[in-house]
Amino acid sequence: MKKHHFTWGGLYLALVFVILYAPILYLMIFSFSAGKTMEKYHGFSFQHYADLFADGRMITIVINTLIVALLASLIATIIGTMGALVIKDSRGTWRNSLLSLNNVLMVSPDVIIGASFLIFFTVLGIRLGFMSVLLSHIAFCIPIVVLMVLPKLNELSPTLVDAAYDLGASRWQALSRVVLPAIAPGIFAGYFMALTYSLDDFAVTFFVTGNGFSTLSVEIYSRARQGINLEINALSTLMFFVSLLLVIGYYFISKHSGRRNRIVAVKEGDAQ
C-alpha cells in the first residue's frame, strides 16, 4: 500500500466510501439546482436557499431546535458532571447499579424512550410542547455526559485532591480549583456530544412534541412524507457544514484533552 498501485481492498474501500458519501453529496448538489425535483440538474441557482431564509416557519423551527439543544446540553452537562462525581465517590455494588441505571437510556431503543416519556408526561400532566421536549432532551443527554466525564475523573490522581486538602483547601476549593479544571476536557466533550445528540434526535422528540412545537428532525420528517422539496436540500447542505464544525470542535477538544492528560494524570491505567 506504500505507492498507489491497484489492490482489490482499495477498490472495495473506494466503493464503500462512494456509497457512504454519494447520498449526502447528491442532496447538496441538488440544493443548487434551479429545478424543483431531484431528477435532473437545471443549472446553478441559490433559489432554494432564498426560499429557505424566507420560510418563517422553518426559521422559527431552527431557532426552537437550537434553543432546545443548547439549553438541554447545558443542563445535562451540569447534572451529568454531578452524576459522574457521585458515581466516582460510590463503591461496590452501589456503583455498579448506578452505572447500569445510567446506561439504561443509552441502550434503550428510541421508541421505548419516546413512548415511556409520553406516558410519564401525561401522568404528570405536563403539556406536550417546548417543556416536554426540553425535559426529554435533558434526560437522554445526561448519561452521555456522565460517560464522557467519568473516564477523566478516573484518570485524575487522588493524590492531587489529597494535596489540595493538605494545603488547606475547602471541599469547594478542591473541586473548583483542582477537580473541575482537570476534568474540563471531558465536560466539554460531553457538552458537544450532548449537543449533537439533541440536534439529531428524531424519535423521542416525535413522541413528546404535541401539535404546537416542532424541531428540525420532526419537520424534515413531515415534509419528506409529502415528497421532495429542494428547500430541505438547501437545509441539509447548511446542516452538513454545522455538523462538520461540530466534528472539528469535538476532535479538537479530544485532542486537547489528550495533551492535558499527560500533564495531569500521574497514575495511568485505572480508567474504567
Partner 1 sequence: MRQKVFFTIPYTLWILLFVIAPLVLIFYQSFFNIDGQATLGNYATYLTSRVYLKMTLNSVWYAFLITLVTLVISYPTAYVLNRLPNKQFWLLLVILPTWINLLLKTYAFIGLFSQTGTVNQFLRFVGLGSHQLLFTDASFMFVAAYIEIPFMVLPIFNSLAEINPSLINASKDLGASQWQTFTKVVWPLSLPGVKAGIQAVFIPSLSLFMITRLIGGNRVITLGTAIEEHFLTTQNWGMGSTIGVILILAMFIVMFITGEGRQKGGHRE
Judged by CB under 8 A, the chain residues 136 through 175 that form the site for partner 1 are 139, 142, 147, 171-172, 175
**Cell matching residue 52:** 429557505
Residue 54 or residue 245: which is nearer to partner 1 going by CB? 245
Min dist. Cβ of residue 138 to partner 1 (A) = 8
C-alpha–C-alpha distance, residues 223 and 232, integer Å? 8
Helix %, strand %, coil % of the chain (to 5): 80, 0, 20
Binder of partner 1 out of 73, 196, 214, 261 (CB under 8 A)? 196
The three-state secondary structure class of 33 is: strand
Site residues for partner 1, 54-113, by CB under 8 A, read: 78-80, 82-83, 85-86, 89, 98, 101-102, 104-105, 107-113
Give strand pairing partners of 33: 44
- Give the type of residue at 221: Y
Length of the chain: 272
Tell me, residue by residue from 197 to 216, as one string, x for binding to partner 1 by CB under 8 A and - for no binding: --xx-xx--xx--------x
Number of residues engaging partner 1 in binding (CB under 8 A): 80
- Contacting range for partner 1; rule: CB under 8 A; set: 48-56, 66-74, 229-237, 262-270: 229-237
How distant is the alpha carbon of residue 137 from its chain centre? 10
**Cell matching residue 251:** 476532535
The label of the residue with cell 494524570 reads 265
Binder of partner 1 out of 12, 94, 165, 252 (CB under 8 A)? 12
Binder of partner 1 out of 246, 249, 256, 264 (CB under 8 A)? 246
